[in-house]
Chains A and B, each alone.
Chain A
């Protein structure tokens, strides 16, 4: 252990002790495990289904009761993706090379079969997000994970068909703009921002939740595109130096 690290440990020790004390003090005031009775949560569990016709209360909170917060959350996602793109943008693009193609037939076959399965699971999670466990955020991540399997199973060249910013940017921006547009549409109609204009729909169907369904899909599109932009940027910044060495 170097002198520098020992010094760092000495400085950290009292800070950590204070932090630990605050943590224990805070946790000692927390409700006993399994004994929580939040008035807000209990209320929503009771009224969300009759009021909003959505059986997944968590998604109803995300897109309706706390829909404005979700817009902020979506723009955190948007802003950090913009930040990553600005930091990693490189004029040099990796050259198409046959060297990095995946050689194993078994991996190629399994990977290509899994692409469809994972993308369908993602779409299913997003589509039924208001009925059963799932939602736009989870579905979007799964769809992006399915598409990035193309790179893992088949190599860089086939992946380029999807991992292009020019293709992905409209989806990412469109998803974010769609959410705001749905909020503004309610304002124009004379209702509060993000008011559910379409009515609650019928419980347990794909259209239950009305406007929430559209918000859900806007988020799913944005999350999927944002993740793919991130994958593209990180893959390119990895592949540019590595492929040009060959």
Chain B
């Protein structure tokens, strides 16, 4: 068996988390979160893969042909949509923080102004 795909999952996840820890910019932080989440797409698609399996689309294909798992693919679709919308919301929050405090560095905006 090959561990390459699972290695890629762990690597992408680790890169995203590392970026989030050392981040000095809220927009960079948001993108690190997206990278971290991308590892879940790879994990889901890796889990559902089958050797010799086709895409689970049976247009012009005999029924019963080996195909990869369609459930994880639809979960990945959900994952992508949620990721995109949440990132839009986070970026809007970052813009608002910049408007309020004039900075996107989390260390500089740590004091709360009410």
Binding site for B on A (CB under 8 A): 4-5, 8-9, 12, 16, 19-20, 23-24, 27, 30-38, 40-42, 44-46, 48-50, 55-62, 66, 69-70, 73, 76-77, 80-81, 83-84, 87-88, 131-133, 135, 137, 204, 223, 226, 230, 233-234, 237
In the assembled complex, which residues on chain A have CB atoms less than 8 Å from the CB atom of B59? Answer: 55-56, 131-132, 204
Q: A40-B71, A80-B88, A137-B77 are in contact. List 10 more A-B contacts (CB 8 A).
A: A27-B6, A34-B51, A41-B69, A45-B56, A46-B64, A57-B67, A61-B71, A87-B89, A87-B92, A230-B88
Compute how far the CA of A58 lies from the CA of B95 in the bound complex, rounded to whole angstroms: 36
In the assembled complex, which residues on chain A have CB atoms less than 8 Å from the CB atom of B5? Answer: 33
B96 adjacent to A87 (CB under 8 Å): yes
Knowing A34-B51, A36-B48, A56-B59, the reply to whether A76 touches B74 (Cβ < 8 A) is no
B69 adjacent to A87 (CB under 8 Å): no
**Whose C-beta in chain A lies nearest to the C-beta of B98?**
A237
In the assembled complex, which residues on chain A have CB atoms less than 8 Å from the CB atom of B47? Answer: 30-31, 36
In the assembled complex, which residues on chain B have CB atoms less than 8 Å from the CB atom of A46? Answer: 63-64
- How many chain B residues sit at the interface, stated as a range, is 35 or more
For the complex formed, measure the closest distance between the CB of B89 and the CB atoms of chain A, giving whole angstroms. Answer: 4
In the assembled complex, which residues on chain A have CB atoms less than 8 Å from the CB atom of B107? Answer: 4
For the complex formed, measure the closest distance between the CB of B21 and the CB atoms of chain A, giving whole angstroms. Answer: 5
Compute how far the CA of A44 lies from the CA of B71 in the bound complex, rounded to whole angstroms: 8
Compute how far the CA of A56 lies from the CA of B58 in the bound complex, rounded to whole angstroms: 6
Knowing A55-B58, A132-B59, the reply to whether A35 touches B78 (Cβ < 8 A) is no
B14 adjacent to A20 (CB under 8 Å): yes
**Whose C-beta in chain B lies nearest to the C-beta of A37?**
B50
For the complex formed, measure the closest distance between the CB of B23 and the CB atoms of chain A, giving whole angstroms. Answer: 10
Interface residues of B in 30-74 (CB under 8 A from A): 46-51, 55-59, 63-64, 67-74
In the assembled complex, which residues on chain B have CB atoms less than 8 Å from the CB atom of A30? Answer: 6, 47
B56 adjacent to A58 (CB under 8 Å): yes
Compute how far the CA of A76 lies from the CA of B72 in the bound complex, rounded to whole angstroms: 20
5 example contacts (A-B, Cβ-Cβ < 8 A) are as follows A20-B10, A31-B47, A41-B69, A41-B72, A45-B69
For the complex formed, measure the closest distance between the CB of B32 and the CB atoms of chain A, giving whole angstroms. Answer: 13
Q: Does B109 contact A (CB under 8 A)?
A: no
Compute how far the CA of A60 lies from the CA of B10 in the bound complex, rounded to whole angstroms: 31
**Which of A16, A19, A45, A73 gathers the greatest number of chain B CB atoms within 10 Å?**
A45
Compute how far the CA of A31 lies from the CA of B18 in the bound complex, rounded to whole angstroms: 27
**Whose C-beta in chain A lies nearest to the C-beta of B14?**
A20
Compute how far the CA of A237 lies from the CA of B51 in the bound complex, rounded to whole angstroms: 48
For the complex formed, measure the closest distance between the CB of B103 and the CB atoms of chain A, giving whole angstroms. Answer: 16
In the assembled complex, which residues on chain A have CB atoms less than 8 Å from the CB atom of B13? Answer: 23
**Whose C-beta in chain A lies nearest to the C-beta of B80?**
A137
**Whose C-beta in chain A lies nearest to the C-beta of B5?**
A33
